[in-house]
Amino acid sequence: MNYPSGIKKEKEKNLLLEKTNYKNRGMTLEADINISNEYYREIDKAFIYKKPTPIKITKVDYPSRDKAIIKEAFFTIPSTTDYNGLYNGKYIDFEAKETKSKSSFALSNIHPHQIKHLENIYHHGGIAFLIVRFTTLNETYLLQAKDFLNFIKEEERKSIPLSFFKSSGYQIKDSYNPRLDYLKIVDSLIGGI
């Protein structure tokens, strides 16, 4: 089974993440978001979860009555973004991506149906955005879906320059708890809580 480039790397990262089980906090954007979401839940602020990695299971063994071992499965393309949940009575939905580039974020990182999904959520009153980390620069930005969608509509480019994140997005600074306080940005966008 083939799948789009980029998935393999992402899955390796996920696998690594599962193994390290938060031992290396802050190692990846995903780990930072997961730990921040845990914190938000602990303080009863928001209930946002990462969706499990979508897979197609093709073979399962049952060595005993209460055991099941998946012996063959394949990664599949996600239909939606990775994160969604409830914050302050509102539906929240976002995709998070890292790039090693120092100058731009390649649009090939986001699947077309994820773009369509963000568009649907935005048009139906949900809070939709991207979180993009430029790992080499250690800079993380929140970019609202409406600005992201406008960029795609108006520009022919196959990547979003860092300057666009700086001008139209919002930098999320690292903090202690939560590690990545992206809801602070959301508060400022929706008029606070």
Asked if 50 contacts 30 with a C-beta cutoff of 8 angstroms, the reply is yes
Instruction: Name which position in 28, 34, 36, 80 contacts a second copy (CB under 8 A).
Output: 80
Report if residue 97 touches a second copy, rule: CB under 8 A. no
112 in contact with a second copy (CB under 8 A): no
CB of 83 to a second copy, least distance (A): 11
Q: Please, what is the minimum distance in Å from the beta carbon of residue 89 to a second copy?
A: 3
| 54 is an interface residue for a second copy by CB under 8 A | yes
Minimum Å gap between C-beta 139 and a second copy is 30
- Interface positions with a second copy (CB under 8 A): 1-3, 5, 7-8, 11-12, 14-15, 18, 41, 44, 46-47, 49, 51-57, 60, 62, 65-75, 78-80, 84-93, 117, 120-121, 124-126
